[in-house]
């Protein structure tokens, strides 16, 4: 299992704590140290929709110039922005090999990540 995110993100911390508590083994990949490839971002966009993978509620989005924000209108432009600024990707993204999860919801984790 792979968990993608940022070390200091509280949601990522909660997800990792839940995985640890429930005995799940995983590899953690920090967006800042190991940015996702264009192919991986495209896979996530297919699974969740680019609008959901792009985190428009976070500080990184709010700090962007309004012209840049307005220029994001499709998957291609969203992926280009996520490649340039990986911290703008919603987190965590969990890939169990069978299931992809976006964000942390304890109920969803419990139902989809059974041991």
Q: Phi/psi of residue 69, each to 5°?
A: -55, -45
The pTM of the whole model exceeds 0.75: yes
Is 45 a residue of the active site? Answer: no
Say if residues 61 and 68 touch (Cβ distance below 8 Å): no
Whole-number pLDDT of residue 115: 60
Question: In this predicted model, what pLDDT tens digit does every residue of 65-89 receive, in sequence order?
Answer: 999 999 999 999 999 999 999 999 9
> Which stretches of the chain are DSSP H helices?
10-21, 38-48, 50-53, 59-62, 66-70, 75-84, 106-112
| Candidates 6, 9, 12, 88; catalytic one | 9
Question: In this predicted model, what pLDDT tens digit does every residue of 32-57 receive, in sequence order?
Answer: 999 999 999 999 999 999 999 999 99
Q: How many CB atoms lie within 10 A of CB 35?
A: 19
Compute, in degrees rounded to 10, the torsion defined by CA atoms 64, 52, 93, 72.
-40
Place of tokens 């500080």: 59
């Amino acid at each position: 299992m792979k968990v993608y995110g940022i070390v200091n993100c509280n949601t990522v911390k909660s997800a990792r704590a839940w995985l640890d508590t429930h005995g799940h083994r995983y590899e953690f990949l920090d967006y800042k140290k190991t940015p996702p490839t264009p192919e991986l971002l495209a896979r996530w966009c297919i699974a969740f929709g680019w609008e959901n993978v792009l985190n428009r509620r976070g500080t990184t989005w709010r700090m962007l110039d309004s012209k840049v924000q307005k220029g994001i209108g499709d998957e291609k432009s969203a992926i280009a922005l996520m490649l340039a600024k990986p911290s703008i990707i919603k987190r965590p993204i969990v890939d169990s090999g069978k299931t992809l999860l976006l964000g942390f919801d304890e109920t969803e984790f419990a139902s989809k990540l059974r041991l």
